[in-house]
Structure 1
């Protein structure tokens, strides 16, 4: 019997083409990674522009996928909530009765505060909202903590603007693209937020740890004791974040520093509000006109 011309019996052309395509993609990916590494090393501004351009392209796709995942994930939660609604209703009614006295006291304090501010002729400076956008992705495995916002320069978002969620401070805008922005989260090691303790006004600094939590550090006082449950809000110092916005709650006792959990978890947020800085940087004075001879 004559030998077969093709000795690779049983090996289809589809598998050959698939293997060849895999090698091509591997080589192309290696080359692209090398080019990006060189660009990030020798030209960081160009690399940042390329990164934000890629984020602007992927942000709409991430928004659609995120909306679909949230919609599917909300079905079991809605079913479980329907079964628990009766018991929760009775519990909430009892809680409302218990907190009625606290609510009345809070209203009295708010009225006294308003009256005293009027007497002192003080005026609160309110931050101006820019846009409400969705956090479509966030880092979870690296030492840095960033998130992508599906709004950019076209929507008026600029670097340095604070990002606030329904439950507290999320972070601040670090970089912006046409329709996407990169947000530095409060848990990032480069994040520092001036805060104060709600029960006594103690000033402190909330510094990110890079692991999903923050460090609360005393500023001026020594031997300061932090207890579990201490709540910290923004103080307004520095002019970036408006005062009184929740930041974190202490999760472990400590002296001069303690670990705290942020109120706003980026992974659980649907939307976030981008605001102008609480105290905008004043504009530069116009240059003096050159005297004509």
Structure 2
């Protein structure tokens, strides 16, 4: 048997038919090309019609092949984009996790700065402030309401001195140590503050309830109507608290005794201002009445 490399072309009929068909297609293509060349030279309109007819048949096929090619080419790009987006999202999550503590710290600093600016404005209006100190803690789970101030006798803090925040009155100093002081809050049941209504000067007293709020009670009058939103400030009666310090706002309308919400919430700010005890000026003496003179005889 002869080796495969020595076989002739005509050994296989299939190969013979293939070669023959190839020759036929080549001759047919040459003839068609020659005919189209002659037609395009002698009858251009006819050639244009034939060209557009062939284009109409081949255009959908070409469009479909182009769509398939573009879809196949976009697969690697989509995979690459997904991998890049996944890696970018992971990097952004890491950056966010690293920046979150810094953001929280910046918010705390901004909050403290706003409070300190407000307290500084109050201090500028106070004629003789004692010290600005930090409220390091306050009781909120018991019936008694106290706060601890990180300033004491060394800073000039003495029992009875009023303590106020940016929004209003906090309470008064109850006990002092060398570097700390205990503050009796407005909401403590032992706290009683003379107040007046800001819109008409109606006298009242604010008494602590032990639950973070105060009772506003009328003084020397009955059937007194309180409207929701009425603002009460210190009256200055009896000394201790200077007049005009915001104390509480009425929560709901009522008669004679209503619930009030204090403006200053010790658990929402850090710094407070200690003021000197208010000493009202004594009333000016009235001029003595002229002594009666004896009538002339």
TM-score grouping bracket, smaller chain normalisation: 0.5 to 0.7
Aligned to 1:241: 241
Contact kept, 8 Å, 2:236 with 2:280, in 1: the verdict is no
Quick check: which has more Rg, 1 or 2? 2
Deviation at 1:280, TM superposition (A): 7.6
Contact kept, 8 Å, 2:129 with 2:275, in 1: the verdict is yes
Contact kept, 8 Å, 1:127 with 1:277, in 2: the verdict is no
Aligned to 1:28: none
Which structure 2 residue ranges, 5 or more long, are not aligned?
1-100, 111-125, 283-297
Q: Distance in 1 between matches of 2:195 and 2:216?
A: 9
Deviation at 1:252, TM superposition (A): 1.3
User: What root-mean-square deviation, in Å, do the aligned CA atoms of Structure 1 and Structure 2 show?
Assistant: 2.5
Aligned to 1:251: 251
Runs of 4+ in 1 over 6 A off after TM superposition: none
Contact kept, 8 Å, 2:159 with 2:173, in 1: the verdict is yes
Which structure 1 residue ranges, 5 or more long, are not aligned?
1-71, 82-125, 283-293
Aligned to 1:197: 197
Deviation at 1:78, TM superposition (A): 3.5
Cα deviation digits, residues 74-93 of structure 1 (max 9, x gap): 728839x9xxxxxxxxxxxx
Contact kept, 8 Å, 1:127 with 1:275, in 2: the verdict is no
Aligned to 2:228: 228
Q: Distance in 1 between matches of 2:155 and 2:175?
A: 14
| Structure 1 residues 223 and 127: alpha-carbon distance in aligned structure 2, compared to 1, 3 A threshold | farther
Q: Distance in 1 between matches of 2:160 and 2:269?
A: 20
| Structure 1 residues 220 and 130: alpha-carbon distance in aligned structure 2, compared to 1, 3 A threshold | same
Count of residue pairs brought into register by the alignment: 167
| Aligned: 1:268 with 2:268 | yes
SS at match of 1:174: strand
